[in-house]
Amino acid sequence: MRGINLAGAEFGSLGQDYGTGYVYPSEKTIAYFKDKGFTGVRLPFLWERLQPKLYDKFDTAELRRLRATVKAIRSAGMQVVLDPHNYARYGDQIIGSEAVPQSAFADFWRRLATVFSGQDEVLFGLMNEPYGISAEDWLSAANGAISAIRQSGADNLILVPGTAWTGAHSWSGGDYGMPNASVMTGVADPGNNYAFEVHQYLDVDFSGKNEECTRAVDAVKAVHDMGDWLAAQGRRGFLGEFAVSTMPICQQALTDMVAAVESRPDVWLGWSYWAAGDWWKPSEPLNIQPTESGDRPQMQTLQALFAERKTCGG
């Protein structure tokens, strides 16, 4: 997959109306990225909007919007990664707390899996960037959700992140005690159809919040190292987020990141760039939503890569 994160449905505060506080991607935006050669969309949304009360049914209007957007993306011939963009939280309470038991997370995924069961081109991204939770506790929550998905009858591919914002650079580190590299080998999927999702930014603190790309060499190495770990485990991976700014010096880094994934089709399923969407401001440096004057520099870099791969038969 050559994917794009189409942000917007995770925007705003809870209680804000649709079209005022948040928005799903338009068919125009979906068509733009399809025409540019992208083959997938990672679709962020909020758990709380879809399920306003834990263990309760989904909000009818929000589910309709989500289903319609997935249909539009699929109609364009693209895969979809469903992405509850919640950082292992519901509201401000972490999964596994008294307020948000792990069973509530499993219930959410049982309901969502039932809606999209059997749609092979719809991938289930368990959760965006868990943090503030130990790898052991996150593994327990993830396995509960995976079990619920399979019990629903859904055999869709599941993307499983680690904790510590699921950074490739921190996969083997001990930021939260035991590292993901040790703990996440315990993923239990009765359907044996899952991959690990990691994110990797290239700025000074790997956060993606800075315009520079001074840690590009380290970031690319982290993706290579993650590929080696996947190969050693006999598993697959997906680079769910990465990005660079418009700075000319960062365009080579973007090329190197894509190459780090696409040179290892034995372990990597693909990547999705962060980000685009109808409401992104043109001043946002990582954004590749087109402007009135045309494609942004990062898109021009990616287009050159797509053309090169096509010429080479890739």
Interval 200-214: pLDDT, tens: 999 999 999 999 999
CA distances from 41 to 73, 76, 184, 233, 271 (A): 7, 11, 25, 27, 10
Q: Assign 113 a pLDDT band (cuts: 50, 70, 90).
A: very high
Q: Assign 307 a pLDDT band (cuts: 50, 70, 90).
A: confident
Average pLDDT over residues 28-35: 98
Residues designated catalytic: 129, 241
CA distances from 105 to 99, 110, 216, 283 (A): 11, 9, 35, 36
**313 pLDDT exceeds 70?**
no
Q: Which two tokens stand for residue 312?
A: 């080479």
Exposure string (b/e) for 277-305, b if CB count within 10 Å is 16 or more? Answer: beebeeeebbbbbbeeeeebbbbebbeeb
Residue 177, pLDDT score: 85
- Per the model's pLDDT, the better-predicted residue between 311 and 167 turns out to be 167
**190 pLDDT exceeds 80?**
yes
Mean pLDDT, the chain, whole residue set: 96
Peptide bond into 104 cis (omega under 30): no
Average pLDDT over residues 168-192: 94
Q: Assign 282 a pLDDT band (cuts: 50, 70, 90).
A: confident
Residue 174, pLDDT score: 76
Nearest to 302 by CA among 239, 238, 259: 259
Average pLDDT over residues 179-200: 98
237-241/268-276 β-pairing: parallel
Residue 176, pLDDT score: 75
- Per the model's pLDDT, the better-predicted residue between 174 and 93 turns out to be 93
Residue 17, pLDDT score: 97
Average pLDDT over residues 235-240: 98
2-311: CATH topology: TIM Barrel (3.20.20)
Residue 314, pLDDT score: 58
Average pLDDT over residues 137-148: 98
Q: Which residues contact 143 (CB under 8 A, 6 or more apart)?
A: 186, 187, 188
CA distances from 225 to 121, 218, 264 (A): 28, 10, 11
